[in-house]
Amino acid sequence: MRTKSTIKAGKMNGAKTTNLTALQYFNKKKYLYLMLLPCVIYFILFHYVPMYGIVMAFKDFDFGKGIWNSPWIGLENFRYMFSLPDFYSVLKNSLTLSLLRLLFGFPMPLLLALMINEIRMVKFKKTVQTIIYLPHFISWVVIGGILVNFLSPTWGVVNKILGSFGVEPIFFMAEEKYFKWMVVLSSIWKEAGWGTILYLAALTAINPELYEAARIDGANRFQQLYRITLPCIVPTIVTLFILRTGTIMSNGSEQILVLQNSQNLSVSEVFETYTYRVGIIGGRYSFATTVGLFTSVIGTVLIVCTNRISKMMGENGLW
């Protein structure tokens, strides 16, 4: 369609042939290519040049020599990483937190969206939506600040309430068994409401005639939910799930960095904060790059695999 119309337009401009040489083609589209130039430069500079920087993982990087002139050391960094007890504790923390988040955090927006979808009072529904989207727009520093203050064992409101029931102050942010739940709950609290948007959009796209027909056939609310609503939003669930699996190794640097303190370090140190501490604070670039590469590769492999599995099961994939 488009090709034809451009050719037509070209003819009107007086061009005699439709077989343009590369230069002529480029000249004709020069504005479009010009517009694309910043974009191409941006992606090469800020995404592909750092990918070249990954070779640091295979070198003994020395600041004075730069990446190119630093000596190759092969897989030495990886051997070192896998021999380090710290690495396994970071791996365990990262996986624990992100799997808990997946297990409890992933179904939550779906559940909320299904519930909101059942609400018939339009005004009430709109108000609820406005309120539950709010935490998404607030920075982790602010939320961390609220959490630390409200949960403080000395002056926090939560411990004061518990104290009035005779409960000893609980160090929510320091004790291992509480800390991971604080991370999971606060991330659910922040993002579950916002996560309903895509589901709600998919839910409103369902043809109402399906429900009508089901009602005539005598289907009750649960049967409608099970036979119509869920099958209709499976593609949305699958898409979001595939995207989610790519982030199994990551926990979001901002949240953890804010909630981390010297007392909970043994459970709160995850890959992002570890890379930051070792690489940027400690200056061990090569080793930190190795750790980063390890997590990116696993993330990529996971997302490619789930995408393939999803396609094999007859669902649509991301690509």
Partner 1 sequence: MMVLVYTFVILFAFACIFPFLYVISYSVMPYSEYLENPVKMIPSKLDFGAYKEILKFPLLYSGYRNTLFITIVGTLLNLTLLIISAYPLSKADLKGRKIILWMILFTMLFSGGMIPRYYLVRELGLINSLGSLILPGAISAYNLILMKNFVGNIPDSLEEAALIDGANELQILWRIIVPLSKAAIASFAIMCAVNHWNSFFDAVIFLTQRDQWPLMLVLREMVFEGGAGAIQNVVAEEDMAQTFTIQMAMIVVIIVPIICVYPFLQKYFVTGLTIGGVKE
Should residue 155 be labelled a site residue for partner 1 when binding is judged by CB under 8 A?
yes
Q: Cβ of residue 207: shortest distance to partner 1, in angstroms?
A: 17
Residue 265 within binding range of partner 1, rule CB under 8 A: no
Closest by CA to 203, choosing from 178, 237, 179, is 237
Distance of alpha carbon 208 from alpha carbon 14, whole angstroms: 53
Is 149 a binding residue for partner 1 by CB under 8 A? The answer is: yes
In whole angstroms, give the CA distance from residue 27 to residue 97. 54
Tell the smallest beta-carbon distance from residue 209 to partner 1 (Å): 22
Q: Which of 233, 292, 306, 310 binds partner 1 (CB under 8 A)?
A: 292
Near partner 1 in 208-227, by CB under 8 A: 221
248 binds partner 1 (CB under 8 A): no
Q: Is 72 in the site for partner 1 (CB under 8 A)?
A: no
Span near partner 1 by CB under 8 A; candidates 73-81, 96-104, 150-158, 208-216: 150-158
Tell me which stretch binds partner 1 (CB under 8 A): 74-82, 83-91, 92-100, 154-162.
154-162
Query: Total number of residues binding partner 1 (CB under 8 A)?
Result: 96
In the complex, the smallest distance separating the C-beta of residue 36 from partner 1, rounded to whole angstroms, is 5
| Interface residue with partner 1, options 81, 101, 140, 269 (CB under 8 A) | 140
